Amino acid sequence: MKVIDLRSDTVTLPTPAMREAMYSAQVGDDVFGEDPTVNELEALAAEKVGKEAALFVVSGTMGNLVCILTHCQRGDEVIMGARAHTFLYEVGAAAAFGGVQVRTIPNEASGMLNPEAVMDAIRGDNIHFPPTRLVCLENTHNLCGGCALSPDEMDSICIPVRERGISVHLDGARVFNAAVGLGVDVKDLTRNVDSLMFCLSKGLSAPVGSLVAGSEDFIRRARKNRKMVGGGMRQVGVIAAAGIVALNEMVDRLAEDHANARLLAEGLKEIDGLDVDLECVQTDIVIFSVVSDGITAVEVATGLEEEGVRLQAIGGGQMRAVTHYGIEEEDIRIALEAFRKVMKGSV
């Protein structure tokens, strides 16, 4: 029985083209700046997102941490959403490694931060206050159902924040999903951020890695912080080669994942005992609720596992499904049939 794994787009396997590129990659010592494949990937990434330079890192969590360490000193404060991945799921790294205080404000349903609330949260010049050094945004927003912030929404925060002399970092783990979902150039979403991180290992299907991008000076300083947290990776072109294929070949096909997520959400909406807000399904993530008194989200996940469908219960009676490379339309129809079987008799 084929296992239909909808837990995350991190479970993607490399494409045949990626495997071939990895096999034949030219390599060198990246810490010395001598890996030609890494250098090619970094230049390509910087061009794609409209920045001067980029830096290859092991993971999105490392990328976000390296950016925070590069923007901030110990005792500085970072503003981000209360549902931000960096706040909830990155092990308190900003505080543990950087001595940086995180100040959260509520996310709207779309993941957006209210621009006025962001400006109000910026600290004044007072001996009692930590200085606000950075604002972090997330696009798409993981816990807000993969919603995408538009260029205007991004600019409504980035422009006034930067006018105050404060930097903006974008956790853009799935920023290419945002661009494809909105039908815009990714540069329109990144034009007014000082730094960003995006993942190769999610919807773009590479086996490992993320990129950090920003100005040449920022990346120069970030490279040293990457080394400090153990991210200097020597002959890593064998991995970077898959990232080049990801950026050149896997962006446009994200629309297929979005269509499959919509198909899944519409099917879940019709099943008694489940509820999903279709307006929040914009990209590859579907967050929905188990509203039956006869079964819990954890029990639904267990029942689906027995039917060959893997999914996550994320707390509060909610579940998350993520479509990705390797999941086809027929897989979604099979998964929906498994949902109907598990939910039958629970309401």
Give the pairing type, strands 285-290 and 318-322.
antiparallel
Mean pLDDT of the 340-346 span: 87
Among 234, 249, 264, the domain boundary falls at: 249
Judge whether 6 lies within some domain.
Answer: no
Judge whether 124 lies within some domain.
Answer: yes
Q: What percentage of the chain reaches a pLDDT higher than 90?
A: 97
Tell me: do 61 and 207 sit in the same domain.
yes
Angle at 102 between CA 98 and CA 105, to 5 degrees: 160
Tell me: do 281 and 227 sit in the same domain.
no
**Tens-place pLDDT, residues 261-299:** 999 999 999 999 999 999 889 999 999 999 999 999 999
Tell me: do 226 and 287 sit in the same domain.
no
Average pLDDT, the chain: 97
Mean pLDDT of the 213-233 span: 97
Predicted structure pTM score:
0.96
DSSP letter at 203? T
Mean pLDDT of the 85-107 span: 97
Tell me: do 279 and 240 sit in the same domain.
no
Q: Which amino acid is at 80?
A: M
d(CA 176, CA 189): 9
Residue 222 in tokens: 């970030």
User: Computed from CA positions of residues 48, 41, 136, 127, in that sequence, does the dihedral angle turn out positive or negative?
Assistant: negative
pLDDT greater than 80 at residue 347 = no
Residue 190: predicted pLDDT: 98
d(CA 224, CA 242): 24
Check which CATH number belongs to the domain holding 258 and give it.
3.90.1150.10
Tell me: do 105 and 159 sit in the same domain.
yes
Judge whether 180 lies within some domain.
Answer: yes
Q: How confident is the model at residue 1 (pLDDT cuts 50, 70, 90)?
A: confident
Among 249, 269, 299, the domain boundary falls at: 249
Residue 346: predicted pLDDT: 67
d(CA 143, CA 232): 31
Give the pairing type, strands 195-199 and 210-214.
antiparallel
Nearest by Cα to 136 from 68, 88, 188: 68
**How many domains are there within the chain?**
2
Mean pLDDT of the 81-88 span: 97
**Tens-place pLDDT, residues 111-148:** 999 999 999 999 999 999 999 999 999 999 999 999 99
Task: Give residues with Cβ within 8 angstroms of 334, minimum separation 6.
Answer: 4, 308, 309
Judge whether 189 lies within some domain.
Answer: yes
Among 198, 231, 249, the domain boundary falls at: 249
Q: Assign 105 to helix, strand or coil.
A: strand
Tell me: do 64 and 199 sit in the same domain.
yes
Residue 92: predicted pLDDT: 97
Mean pLDDT of the 224-236 span: 96
